[in-house]
A and B are shown apart, each in its own frame.
Chain A
Amino acid sequence: MNIVKLSALLSGVVLLAGCATSGIEATGKTEGDPEYAKHLVIHNEPLAKAITITDMKSRFKGDLLEVNVVLSNLSSSDKSIQYRFAWYDGDNFEVEQGGRSWIPVVLHGKSSTTMRAVAPNPSVKTYKVNVREL
């Protein structure tokens, strides 16, 4: 029994060690190429096979950039993911660095969720969203 417990624990440790903290990264701009797929960087192939960004939209509410990113789970199992937005001004300098934390979301099997965020101030022209699984 103890051996069973130990081997199960060890396999758990191995599985945890195998988890990648990298994920999918997408960059959006307020003007220019609307083909968001071109701005997609995949750091984690297994995650990219299960989860994909299906839509990226942005608009100005007053003078603040509002972003809508749709994330879809292609697999039939629930996925616990985290996402974070980063904001850049016209000179590509990060705005309010560290102001955004990772947001945890449960993405149910074969379903989509919308990640919505608003730029911290009117100087934002570009945004980046990172998605990872933990």
Chain B
Amino acid sequence: MMLSEQSVQTAAGKKLKSAGALLVAGLLSVSLVGCSKAIKYGDAAEVETTTTGFGSTDLQQIAAKMVDSVLTFPPVVEITAKRRPVMFVDTIKNKTTEHIDTESITDTISTKLLRSGKFRFVDMTKVAAVKQQLDYQSDSGMVNQNAAMKMGQQVGAEYMLYGNLSSIVKRNSSRKDVYYKFTLKLMHLQSGIVEWSDEKEIRKSKEKSLFGL
């Protein structure tokens, strides 16, 4: 008798629990619907401080500083006064612990340099595609040879742009501090001389909020 009473009570308890769970789930779904926000476009130039991780503002600051610096460095001003030297961009070594698309940084820098009218670029990421196209034009028999682009006529790069991105991250119970250092160098390929170099430092910190939110 006692056993059956207990089993009835357990069954009732289970029902109550499931009803409670349903109620919580319902409330949650209602609250989620209530909190849903409309999608809107933002300003890509705004300062972004969502986390201390590497973000768009860091990329924009680095690119602006590097482009301004290289374009106003006196020996570079002299080199670019009468001609537009050809350069190629090597990879930026990511020495931070984060996954950062460093090609995106160099893309922004090379685009700004190209648009300044001071430099020209060769794109090493497209060598295979260019070769394939030139092979097609010269060997396929499909292209009028008078109008075909000839092999062996490309202009070699005179300068190489390369660099590093490193970071130091420190944290304690209430504060996280991130320091980024981006170094960029411009090397003359024939002589091996580094003609220009500059650094951009960025410090970001995050304190735990007053109410622990």
A residues engaging B (CB < 8 A)?
Answer: 5, 8-9, 61-62, 64, 66, 82, 84, 96, 98-104, 116-118, 120-122, 134
A-B contact pairs, 19 of them (CB 8 A): A8-B210, A62-B72, A62-B81, A64-B116, A66-B68, A82-B47, A96-B115, A98-B44, A98-B45, A101-B44, A101-B61, A102-B46, A102-B47, A102-B57, A103-B64, A118-B67, A120-B112, A122-B117, A134-B47
Which chain A residues border B210 with CB–CB below 8 Å? 8
- Would you call B71 an interface residue if the criterion is a C-beta within 8 Å of the partner chain's C-beta atoms? yes
In the complex, A96→B57 CA distance in Å?
Answer: 18
* Given A64-B116, A118-B71, 16 extra CB contacts under 8 A: A8-B210, A9-B211, A62-B72, A62-B77, A64-B71, A64-B118, A66-B72, A98-B45, A100-B64, A101-B57, A102-B46, A103-B61, A117-B64, A118-B72, A121-B117, A134-B47
B115 and A100 within 8 A (CB):
no
What is the bound-complex CA distance between A84 and B116, given in angstroms?
19
Chain B's closest residue to A62 (CB) is B77
Q: Mark B47-82, 1 if CB is under 8 A from A, else 0.
A: 100000000110011001001100110000100110
Q: Which interface class (under 10, 10 to 19, 20 to 34, 35 or more) fits B?
A: 20 to 34
Q: Which residues of B contact A102 (CB under 8 A)?
A: 45-47, 57
Chain A interface mostly:
mixed
- Indicate with 1 or 0, residue by residue over B169-213, a CB within 8 angstroms of chain A CB atoms: 000000000000000000000000000000000000000001100
In the complex, are the beta carbons of B60 and A101 less than 8 A apart? yes
Whole-angstrom distance from the CB of B204 to the nearest CB of chain A? 10
Residues of B within 8 A of A62 (CB): 71-72, 77, 80-81, 118
Chain A minimum-CB-distance residue to B68: A118
**Which one of A82, A100, A101 has the greatest number of beta carbons of chain B within 10 Å?**
A101
C-alpha gap A82/B45 in the complex (Å): 11
